[in-house]
Structure 1
Amino acid sequence: MTGSTGPEEFDDVNEAVGAEWEDETTPYERVREIISRAYTPVSADAVADTARTSPKTARKHLNALDDEGFVTTDTGENGGTTYRRSPESLVVEQAADIREHVSTEELIARVAKMRERISNFQAEYGVESPEELLIERTNQTLSEADTTHDDLDPETIQEWQTTRRNLAFANAALSIANAERFVGEESRPNGSALAQ
């Protein structure tokens, strides 16, 4: 924090932390940090308010992040542009984090376990996905043809969905590792070009 002002001089501790954040970062860094957690569309004004910058500056940085593929834009209800974190950038970020912390061999083993767990869910419930299971159980409840079916445990649905999501991230990490291996081979003098 620059200067010698302490938190006691602020009306609110949050204001002190916000002021310190503003002193230690650029508007671009603050906008990027705020939008990195925006999975639903938000306006440039909302981002600007949270990022402690002007709407014009926020919009400039959001458009640059859109050009980079970090965010996507939509048209809001009132016709204005809204912004949110792009799914592609999230996948790449998660895959890079996995690659940094898990060896390829361990990742392959984890992928095998997750595939087995998903197969077990599919075999146990006789459907391909947790969404199909929810639909099937809802239809059974509505028809009341057979009231003896077991109540569906929400934790089972959540575990199935989480396992499926984690498998997707792990597969992305493996794909990136495989691509990096080929890029490494391509950059060697004896590497071949993509289209020959």
Structure 2
Amino acid sequence: MATEGSNSPLRFASVEASVPKITIQFCIQCKWNLRAAYYAQELLQTFSTSLGEVSLRPSTGGVFIVTLETFNQHSVLESHTIWDRKRDGGFPETKELKKKVRDIIDPQRDLGHVDGKKSATNPPAHPANAGHTRELKDVAAQVVDGPVKVSKLQDNRPESLGVQLVQAQNSSKSQDKAECEDCK
């Protein structure tokens, strides 16, 4: 900026606000960057150009907050906390996050299957694959609940779906891993 008495001309910048704007603030110590990127991708896929911007904001301290900025009818910028991990208890289901965003930016918008409606374009599941999803969910639940070693699916078929599960081991956290107090 030019000061009085200087020969430099004054310069003005135009700032354009990209609204509605979603910001996902996430803890890098907790390694929630992939989760934040996933939510950003899902929101962009669903709302596309109805959103002006989706940004990721790295933070620390166990933070995971999704905010939405919009203009109200008086052109005043408002900030809405869509989700706060500490306030709301954990992480949102993707469909819940989409509904909360929709309810603010476009309440009349139909979210299809997210709203509990079946899409007419989805083909029925192939009968040959009907049991695969169930079996994989059961195996995944076992992995989450404790160590398991699986080399073949229940009916002795090789893992043709590209799924290889190896023994999950509960290991102590590395001493050099920097964690926030919230995540210990």
TM norm. shorter chain > 0.5: no
Greater helix share, structure number: 1
Q: Larger relative CO (CA 8 A, sep 6+): 1 or 2?
A: 2
TM-score, normalised by the number of residues in structure 1: 0.28
